[in-house]
C-alpha cells in the first residue's frame, strides 16, 4: 500500500470517506504520515479506538500531538504563543484533569438533567412558536438547532444570552479548519476575555447558576475558572447544535426513520443514540500520543507516536454494529463512541441527550410537513470545520 495520509473527502455527506471504510476492512490500525511528516497511526476499528481511549498510557496534551491534516488552524500550537486558559481541562492529563472534572461531575448527573427537562421543553416550544409565526422557508440552524443549546447552556452557566453573538462567532472561528492561526489566537483571546469579565461580575454579584457556584467554592482562581467556563460554554452549545442540524437533515433524507422518531415515543431515546452513532460529528479525532510503547490488537504503538482515531468509521465497525452503514432507529445503539470513552468521556452527555430527546420529536410533531426547501445536494456541509454538520439547513413545511 502507498504511503497513507488522512482521507477527508466524503463521497456522500452522511458517510465517512470510502477510503477509511475500506481501510477498516484490512485492520483496525494503520500507519499514517501526518501533515508535518510524523509517522504515526490511524485507528478505524471500534475495539481499538475504545482501547486507546481507555488506556492511561496515551496523552491528551496538545503540545505532544502532531497534526493529522494540513489546516491553518492546526498551526496554532506551532506559534509558540497559543495558550488555552489553565482550567480548559479537556486538554489535560492526570492528575490535573481529575482535579477540575471532579468539581463539575455532580452538576451534570442524570437526575440534575431531568430537572432541566421542563425548561428545555419550554425553550424548544418557544423556538417552534417563532418559526410558525414567521413561516417558512427558514434556516433551521439559525432558528432552531443553534438557539436551543445556546439558551440552555447560557441559563445553566449564567451567561447572558444577549451576548451570544460574541461567543457564537468566536466559537465558529475557532472551529474552522481554514482559520489562520493568528485569527484563531485573536478569537481565543476575545472569548477568554469575555469569560474572564463574566467571572469578575459573578464574584461581585453571584447568581443562582453554575459559574457562580464554582466561584463560591474558592477552589479555583480566576484564570482557572475562565478555562472551565469557556470549555463548558463552547462544548455546551456547538456539539448539540450540529447534532440537531445534521440529525434533522438525516431524518429528512430517511423518511421512514423520520416517521419512527415522530410517531413512536418509545423509539426516541434509542433513536437519538442511533443518530449519534450514525452521524458521529467528531470527525477528526480524538488525537492521542503514546507515553510509552503500547500494544493494541497486536500492533505496537511506540512512545511518542501520535494516534488519530476516526470515530465515524469506528462507530460503523460491523463487528460491533452489524449493518452499521444504515440508519436504523430500532438498532441497539448503546456503546457508541460519539461521547468518547474513558476519563475524557463527554461531561455534558446527559444534557445533550435531554436536548435531543425533546427537540427532535417536538420539531417533527409540530411541523408534520417539514421538508427541505432545497435539494439534499444543495445543503452546505461542515467539511471545513472540526465538528461536522450542516452550515445551513433551509426547510419549509
Q: Could you tell me how many residues make up the chain?
A: 397
d(CA 196, CA 191): 9
Query: Does residue 13 fall inside a structural domain?
Result: no
Residue whose C-alpha cell reads 503500547 in the numeric block: 294
Residue 63, pLDDT score: 84
Q: Decide if 191 contacts 230 (C-beta within 8 A).
A: yes
Per-position pLDDT tens, the chain of length 397: 456 888 889 999 999 999 999 999 999 999 999 999 999 999 999 999 999 999 999 999 988 899 898 875 555 544 444 567 788 888 888 999 999 999 888 888 888 899 999 999 999 999 999 999 999 899 999 999 999 999 999 999 999 999 888 888 999 998 899 988 889 889 999 999 999 999 999 999 999 999 999 999 999 999 999 999 999 999 989 999 999 999 999 999 999 999 999 999 999 999 999 999 999 999 998 999 999 999 999 999 999 999 999 999 999 999 999 999 999 999 999 999 999 999 999 999 999 999 999 999 999 999 999 999 999 999 999 999 999 999 999 999 9
d(CA 83, CA 98): 20
Total number of domains constituting the chain: 1
Q: Decide if 255 contacts 368 (C-beta within 8 A).
A: no
Query: Does residue 42 fall inside a structural domain?
Result: yes
**Helix (H/G/I), strand (E/B), else coil: 332:** coil
d(CA 397, CA 395): 7
Domain of 277, CATH number, reads 1.10.630.10
Query: Does residue 12 fall inside a structural domain?
Result: no
Query: Does residue 334 fall inside a structural domain?
Result: yes
Query: Does residue 11 fall inside a structural domain?
Result: no
d(CA 228, CA 222): 10
Closest CA to 282 of 41, 90, 55, 1: 90
Range(s) of the domain holding residue 32 = 18-396
Query: Does residue 241 fall inside a structural domain?
Result: yes
Query: Does residue 2 fall inside a structural domain?
Result: no
Closest CA to 316 of 21, 54, 22, 50: 21
Residue whose C-alpha cell reads 421542563 in the numeric block: 118
Residue 117, pLDDT score: 96
d(CA 77, CA 62): 7
Question: To 10 degrees, what angle do helices 349-366 and 110-134 make?
Answer: 30
From residue 110, give the alpha-carbon distance in Å to each of 114, 134, 236, 354, 395. Answer: 6, 35, 16, 9, 33
Residue 72, pLDDT score: 56
Query: Does residue 308 fall inside a structural domain?
Result: yes
d(CA 62, CA 180): 18
| 34-57 pLDDT, tens digit each | 999 999 999 999 999 999 999 999
Contacts of 236 (CB under 8 A, 6+ apart): 149, 152, 153, 156, 157, 348, 351
d(CA 280, CA 96): 28
Amino acid at each position: 500500500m502507498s504511503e497513507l495520509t488522512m482521507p477527508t473527502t466524503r463521497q456522500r455527506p452522511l458517510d465517512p470517506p470510502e477510503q477509511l471504510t475500506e481501510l477498516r476492512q484490512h485492520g483496525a490500525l494503520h500507519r499514517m504520515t501526518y501533515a508535518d511528516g510524523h509517522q504515526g497511526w490511524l485507528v478505524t476499528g471500534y475495539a481499538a479506538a475504545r482501547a486507546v481511549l481507555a488506556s492511561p498510557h496515551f496523552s491528551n496534551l496538545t503540545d505532544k500531538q502532531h497534526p493529522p491534516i494540513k489546516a491553518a488552524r492546526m498551526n496554532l500550537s506551532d506559534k509558540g504563543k497559543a495558550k488555552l486558559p489553565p482550567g480548559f481541562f479537556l486538554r489535560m492529563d492526570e492528575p490535573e484533569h481529575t482535579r477540575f472534572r471532579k468539581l463539575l461531575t455532580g452538576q451534570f448527573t442524570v437526575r440534575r438533567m431531568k430537572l432541566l427537562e421542563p425548561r428545555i421543553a419550554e425553550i424548544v416550544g418557544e423556538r417552534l412558536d417563532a418559526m410558525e409565526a414567521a413561516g417558512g422557508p427558514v434556516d433551521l440552524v439559525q432558528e432552531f438547532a443553534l438557539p436551543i443549546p445556546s439558551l440552555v447552556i447560557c441559563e445553566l452557566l449564567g451567561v447572558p444570552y444577549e451576548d451570544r453573538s460574541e461567543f457564537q462567532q468566536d466559537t465558529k472561528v475557532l472551529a474552522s479548519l481554514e482559520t489562520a492561526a493568528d485569527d484563531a489566537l485573536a478569537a481565543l483571546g476575545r472569548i477568554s476575555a469575555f469569560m474572564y469579565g463574566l467571572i469578575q461580575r459573578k464574584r461581585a454579584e453571584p447568581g443562582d447558576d453554575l459559574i457562580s457556584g464554582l466561584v463560591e467554592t474558592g477552589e479555583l482562581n480566576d484564570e482557572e475558572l475562565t478555562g472551565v467556563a469557556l470549555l463548558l460554554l463552547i462544548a455546551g452549545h456547538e456539539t448539540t447544535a450540529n447534532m440537531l442540524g445534521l440529525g434533522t437533515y438525516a431524518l429528512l433524507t430517511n423518511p421512514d426513520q423520520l416517521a419512527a422518531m415522530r410517531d413512536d415515543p418509545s423509539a426516541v431515546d434509542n433513536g437519538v443514540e442511533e443518530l449519534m452513532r450514525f452521524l458521529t460529528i467528531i470527525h477528526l479525532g480524538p488525537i492521542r500520543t503514546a507515553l510509552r510503547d503500547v500494544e493494541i490488537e497486536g500492533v505496537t504503538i511506540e512512545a511518542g507516536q501520535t494516534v488519530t482515531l476516526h470515530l465515524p468509521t469506528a462507530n460503523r465497525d460491523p463487528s460491533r454494529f452489524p449493518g452499521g452503514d444504515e440508519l436504523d432507529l430500532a438498532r441497539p445503539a448503546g456503546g457508541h463512541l460519539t461521547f468518547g470513552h474513558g476519563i475524557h468521556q463527554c461531561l455534558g452527555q446527559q444534557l445533550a441527550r435531554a436536548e435531543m430527546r425533546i427537540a427532535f420529536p417536538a420539531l417533527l410533531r409540530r411541523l408534520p410537513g417539514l421538508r427541505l426547501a432545497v435539494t439534499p445536494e444543495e445543503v452546505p456541509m461542515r467539511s471545513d470545520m472540526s465538528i461536522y454538520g450542516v452550515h445551513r439547513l433551509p426547510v419549509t413545511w
